[in-house]
A and B are shown apart, each in its own frame.
Chain A
């Protein structure tokens, strides 16, 4: 795990988020409050896991409107972690749920969402480690 140390105009150490995340947006969102970032990443991962289980249940029960609500709730969590592209994919799948009457119609989309959620959680966990390391060392 590599941490590049950069300094801002006030000679404060700037944390650079991983390149796969929207660094510019995350810098704007958290500023130098990296404890807040760490906390939000942690609680977002926890909630993503919980909601993913709920999504699974609703999908298998064929409750498409219920599934749509879960996807809607998961979507902004990704935004708080700078995963805008994945968030867009969730928005597309939310539409799919709204237009599907049966689970079969949304099946392909649902399995794709499962995969990208797992990837998102992995990325987030990696970022939490980086944030923790930075916060322990510099705060």
Chain B
């Protein structure tokens, strides 16, 4: 799994270090870097991330004030040059606390904690649901309720038998987030729940009467995945 993250840090040097470490790790993508909490808050109103690297003292609002505003709880790694925030860190249930400057080794330990916590949150098993942000609230969708996911540029549409949900996200990002036991990308614009496939004809598959193209790139993957007798 690759974690989608943002960095909220007013010290450019520290942010550059973090970006390099994330890139080097291969498991953390940095979607954005913000120099203050206010800009990060605006971004987080419309976007969901797995992880925030968060400085505490910045011009304007503090990192803790940002956490107070969040309507959902991504994992948080505090990055600060003070140890005095340990109590607050504990209260906000942050995943780890990195004192600047920190080494790559220490960064990796923090990412391992994120990974461990993710496993705990998923009950140690493959996740059977996901939360999507739509109409200003977070909605839990069970994997079994999702027929397929369709790209709409910067948005995606989750199709269920009864309703369609539109949320700000991309197929590319979701590809690494959905449970691979259930979902697979079949086209640059589609991820399907392959337990819901009714039939496949050449380069097209059908789910509940919806026709979904299969790209050349993904055709062999689809054929391997389905149980052909």
Contacts and interface: CB of A to CB of B under 8 A. Distances in A.
A and B are interacting partners: yes
A36 B104 CA distance: 14
Given A43-B13, A47-B13, A73-B11, A79 B101 contact: yes
Interface string A98-134: 0000000000000000000000000000000000000
A76 B103 contact: no
Dominant secondary structure at the A interface = helix
Interface string A66-99: 0001001101110110000000000100000000
Given A36-B20, A79-B81, A73 B100 contact: no
Which of A40, A43, A72, A75 gathers most chain B CB within 10 Å?
A72
A73 B12 CA distance: 10
A76 B20 contact: no
B100 to A, nearest CB: 4
Contacts of A36: 20
Contacts, number: 42
Nearest to B81: A76
B91 to A, nearest CB: 21
Which of A25, A28, A29, A76 gathers most chain B CB within 10 Å?
A76
A44 interface: yes
Contacts of B59: 69
Interface residues of A, number: 18
Interface in B9-54: 10-14, 16-17, 20
A91 B57 CA distance: 14
B212 to A, nearest CB: 46
A80 B79 CA distance: 14
Interface in A20-55: 25, 28-29, 31, 36, 40, 43-44, 47
A96 B101 CA distance: 22
A79 B81 CA distance: 9
A100 B13 CA distance: 29
B120 interface: no
A106 B13 CA distance: 28
B69 interface: no
A76 B11 contact: yes
A40 B57 CA distance: 21
